[in-house]
């Protein structure tokens, strides 16, 4: 409830400020808010785009990791998203170490790992259907793939729609 009250207060503040100076309110508050929301949603979508349809609950197979990218230095190693799923309480400085110490698990699960790309780079490549460029940045942990074509096939296999069972009966949903 506190979140809803805070959101309502921000909406009221922006509305009131629009009566004072709508141009400044738009530039200072509204446009940055919308831009941040879009970028954050695109990043979150990319973090969870390459889900294995056979094992969507497997943490090594339901998100990605981005290494060797400036984004990690600026955003508390957010690129190490697989280890975040495995252990959400892991301190941000420990994610690279976790990745190095568990390379065999990453290879065994054919985890999606990119080097030199951040989430927004991957978002643009997905929108352009540029799997060749993604394959050139793919980290072939454990050398499980023999060619870029195999990597591309693997990446494409992870972006297919995943069917889910619709609950039947008397089910209560939280809103």
In a domain, 163, yes or no: no
In a domain, 169, yes or no: no
Domain shared by 73 and 10, yes or no: no
Nearest to 80, CA basis, from 61, 93, 97, 67: 67
Domain shared by 21 and 97, yes or no: no
Residue 170: the pLDDT is 64
Domain shared by 64 and 145, yes or no: yes
Domain range for 124 is 48-157
Nearest to 95, CA basis, from 82, 111, 113, 112: 82
* Beta strands in the chain, from DSSP E residues, in sequence order: 64-67, 112-115
How many other CB atoms sit within 10 Å of the CB of residue 65?
Answer: 27
pLDDT in tens, 136-164: 999 999 999 999 999 999 999 999 998 87
Domain shared by 143 and 69, yes or no: yes
- pLDDT above 80 (res 57): yes
Q: Can you give the pTM of this predicted structure?
A: 0.87
Residue 65: the pLDDT is 98
Total domains in the chain come to: 2
Domain shared by 149 and 116, yes or no: yes
In a domain, 168, yes or no: no
In a domain, 75, yes or no: yes
Residue 163: the pLDDT is 83
Domain shared by 108 and 56, yes or no: yes
Element counts in the chain: helices (H) and strands (E): 9, 2
pLDDT in tens, 76-111: 999 999 999 999 999 999 999 999 999 999 999 999
Domain shared by 101 and 149, yes or no: yes
Domain shared by 25 and 61, yes or no: no
Domain shared by 25 and 52, yes or no: no
In a domain, 167, yes or no: no
d(CA 77, CA 94): 9
Query: 127 falls in which pLDDT band (50, 70, 90)?
Result: very high
> Which residue, chain included where needed, has tokens 């998100």?
63
In a domain, 166, yes or no: no
């Amino acid at each position: 409830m506190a979140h809803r009250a805070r959101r309502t207060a921000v909406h009221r503040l922006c509305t009131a400020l629009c009566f004072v100076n709508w141009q400044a309110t738009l530039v200072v508050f509204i446009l940055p808010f919308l831009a941040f929301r879009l970028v954050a949603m695109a990043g979150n979508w990319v973090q969870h785009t390459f889900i294995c349809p056979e094992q969507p609950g497997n943490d090594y197979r339901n998100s990605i990791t981005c290494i060797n990218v400036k984004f990690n230095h600026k955003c508390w190693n957010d690129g190490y998203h697989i280890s975040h799923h495995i252990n959400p309480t892991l301190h941000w400085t420990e994610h690279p170490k976790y990745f190095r110490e568990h390379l065999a698990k990453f290879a065994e699960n054919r985890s999606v790992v990119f080097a030199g790309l951040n989430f927004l780079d991957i978002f643009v490549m997905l929108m352009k259907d540029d799997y060749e460029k993604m394959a050139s940045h793919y980290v072939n942990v454990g050398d499980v793939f023999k060619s870029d074509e195999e990597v591309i096939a693997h990446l494409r296999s992870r972006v297919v729609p995943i069917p889910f069972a619709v609950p039947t009966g008397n089910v209560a949903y939280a809103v």
